[in-house]
Each structure stands twice: as C-alpha cells, then as structure tokens.
Structure 1
Amino acid sequence: MSALTNDHRTRFLQLALRADALRFGEFTLKSGRTSPYFFNAGRFDSGAALASLASCYADAMDAASVPFDLLFGPAYKGIPLATALACEYARRGRDLPLAFNRKEAKAHGEGGSLIGAPLGGKRVLIVDDVITAGTAIREALAIIEAAGGTPAGIVIALDRQERVREDLPVSAAQSVAHEHGIPVVAVAGLDDLLAFAGESTELCDCRDALLAYRARYGIL
C-alpha cells in the first residue's frame, strides 16, 4: 500500500473529493461490476479545478521522469486535460506543443482528424482521465503513429488497478503498457485511495468496501 509519500497524490484525491469527481456508494460500471467508488473527471469543470488538476499531472510526470516533446489529448475528455497541462507547463517555463483529435474527420477547411501542432518527429505524451477497456488509447496511439509521432507514454488521473477480466490478472493500464511498450503514469491509484481513506476520518467507513473490492478484482 502506498504511504502517499508523493504529495501530488494527496492533492489530487482531495481535489477530486471537493469537485465531486470522486464519489463513494454503489455504482454499476460499464464492465457490469458494482464498485464502491466512482471517478468522473468531467466534474473538474472550472478553471481553478482544472489548473489544480494539471499541477497534479505535471508533478506526477516529473516524478516519473518520462521524456516527451508534445502533449496529445484524445477526444473528448483528453482535450481539456491536455490543454490545461500545456498551460501548467508553460507556467513552469516549458512551452510544449499541443495536439488533439476529432472524433470524426473534417472534410472542409483544414480537414483531417488532427488539430494543433504537427506530431511528426515528436515524442508524444497522451493525456487522459482513465484507462478502462483501452479502446480510446489504442485509437490515439494509431493516430499518433500514422502522423509520424512516437508514443512516449500515457498519463492518467486515476488507475483503478483492477483486472480487465476475471481470467486476466492484469489491469487495463498494464495491458496497454505491455502491448505497446510505453509507460503509463497515474496521478494516483486504488492503493493510494485506500491509504488516503485510512487516514481520513470522513472516509474510514468506505475503506472496508474498498478493501473488499480490491480483494475481488484487484491486481497483485
């Protein structure tokens, strides 16, 4: 279990609670599993919340020491996340190029499915909220490679650290990382959430349900 030694993890979880992006109860996931918690990055819906979140992303990337030259935000949630992160890096003195994709290619105007800086010859960091089935990430990787970029890594807000399938003892994040040979950096994971809940008087009642969920679905 993480001791939350990296402050960005604590800051992120506190921010997610304040924004109501992290909720506790009973939630039916797309997988059909009943989860004691739910994360929705769409609730970071103000300039201040996005700026604070971007600071957590930047600190997580700095801690991971993954080299990259360009930020890429997959449509749709990845677009504001990558944009906010670009602004945060600019605030820190690093002006990074930014690109994102459309869900549907545009036939008029500049055309195509890509908007923003050219990807050719760049080490590209994909910025997204979570990895569930990994479908959106795989689409983003294909777009980057087709445009001449090199995927350098993926950064997400929360890693649920649970098995993709009952018979497959790897998480969605691990599956994507192994399949494509690139690092997946999470601002925080389920282990961090458990440690955070254990240190919070408000969340201590949720911890048993979190532990039971990890015991049933968690990765080793």
Structure 2
Amino acid sequence: MPNDLTRLAAAIDGTCRIRGSFTLRSGITTNEYFDKYRFEGDPDLLREVAQAMVPLLPSDTDVVGGLELGGIPIATMVSSITGLPAIFVRKEAKTHGTCKLAEGGDFTGRTVTLIEDIVTTGGAVRDAAIALRELDGIVHTVVCAIDRSEPGQNVLDQIGLSTVSILTKADLDTARRV
C-alpha cells in the first residue's frame, strides 16, 4: 500500500475505531466498534477520502450518486472536487412531495458512479443500482472508502456492478498494528 494510503488508513482507523461495550446489528456484543461517521464528520479526513476516490472514478462517469446516509457527504465532496453533478439516493422513494428515490439532478440515460462509505455485503448498493437502472440510469461501478467484504460475501458482481475501494478492512487492521 502506498505511504499516503497507509497514512490515511491509520488516520481513519485511529479516528473511527472506538472501545467500549457495543451491541451490533446482529445482536452480538463487542468491546470494539468502527464508527464510520467519525471520518465523514471530520472535514480533513472527508476531503482526503474524497480526493483518494477521484482517480478511481470511471472515465465515463457523468454523475456521482451518494447512497443514504454515509455515501452522501463523500459524494458531495467528490462532486465539489470534480465538478460532476451529484444525486442523493434514498434507501426507498419518499412517499410525499416529489416521491423520488434520488434527489438532485437528472440522471436519466447518464452514467452514475455510486459512492458509498463502507461495503460489507453490497446489499444496499445492489438495491440502489437496480432501482436507478429501472429509472434509466446507467450504473456499473461503486467506489467505496472501505471494502469490508469477506470473500464470496459481496453480491455486486452478480448484477454486473464493479466494486472499487480506497481501503480494505485488512488495510485498517494493518495500519492499527503499525
């Protein structure tokens, strides 16, 4: 891993890995938790993550799509850096107002690169990609800050979606030990 990514991994891990008593979504209790919103709420780390994502964007990207909730601040920053328009993709369409799944500009017939903070199984990204495709968006790539998926767990390739990440869980674990 290049030195700048090693330093970024150490900064994210040092900011986000917290100790205490935590109950995970699965119901398991653990003494360690990775609070991803800590790097997204830190303007310097958020900017570094977004800058590291920019070269990973496919060249045909017309729009960046931030997934609710964690992908939205990153997509906003990537949009600001690149000048690409952004959309903000909900987990499900609103039932009031415009009743939209994706807020922001028009993405019909345009290539949307999805932006996510962490991918573990890819389920939420898969659902968003399928929904955007049904609305005539072209979606073939998700760029994430951290890929935590275990071998065989990421379902995105099953729908023709490539996953590109800045860091992996292994990178964070290695940075913690350094």
TM-score by length of 2: 0.81
Q: Which of 95, 103, 107 lines up with 2:96 in the alignment?
A: 107
The alpha carbon displacement at 1:154 in A equals 0.5
Q: Which of 136, 141, 152 lines up with 1:170 in the alignment?
A: 152
The 1-side partners of 2:176 and 2:43 are apart by 27
State the AA in 2 paired with 1:192: D
Q: Which of 16, 22, 26 lines up with 2:17 in the alignment?
A: 22
**Cα distance 1:161–1:137, how it changes in 2: closer, same or farther (>3 A)?**
closer
> Which residue pairs with 2:171 in the alignment?
192
Q: Is the CA contact (8 Å cut-off) linking 1:24 and 1:37 kept in structure 2?
A: yes
> Which residue pairs with 1:49 in the alignment?
45
Query: Secondary structure, in 3 states, of the residue corresponding to 1:119?
Result: coil
Query: Secondary structure, in 3 states, of the residue corresponding to 1:79?
Result: helix
**Cα distance 1:161–1:185, how it changes in 2: closer, same or farther (>3 A)?**
same
State the AA in 2 paired with 1:5: P
TM-align CA RMSD: 2.8
Query: Secondary structure, in 3 states, of the residue corresponding to 2:167?
Result: strand
Q: Which of 127, 133, 141 lines up with 1:139 in the alignment?
A: 127
Query: Secondary structure, in 3 states, of the residue corresponding to 2:103?
Result: strand
Structure 1 residues 71-110: aligned runs within 5 Å: 71-89=64-82, 95-102=83-90, 103-108=92-97, 110=98
TM-score by length of 1: 0.67
Q: Rg bigger for which structure?
A: 1
Given the alignment of the two structures, is residue 39 of structure 1 paired with residue 34 of structure 2, yes or no?
yes
The 2-side partners of 1:137 and 1:152 are apart by 11
The worse-fitting range, judged by mean Cα deviation, of 189-198 and 29-38 is: 29-38
State the AA in 2 paired with 1:185: V
The alpha carbon displacement at 1:49 in A equals 3.0
Query: Secondary structure, in 3 states, of the residue corresponding to 2:117?
Result: coil
State the AA in 1 paired with 2:16: A
Query: Secondary structure, in 3 states, of the residue corresponding to 1:128?
Result: strand
Q: Is the CA contact (8 Å cut-off) linking 1:101 and 1:115 kept in structure 2?
A: yes
Q: Is the CA contact (8 Å cut-off) linking 2:66 and 2:72 kept in structure 1?
A: yes
The 2-side partners of 1:15 and 1:33 are apart by 27
Q: Which runs of 5+ in 1 are unaligned?
A: 90-94, 163-168, 201-220
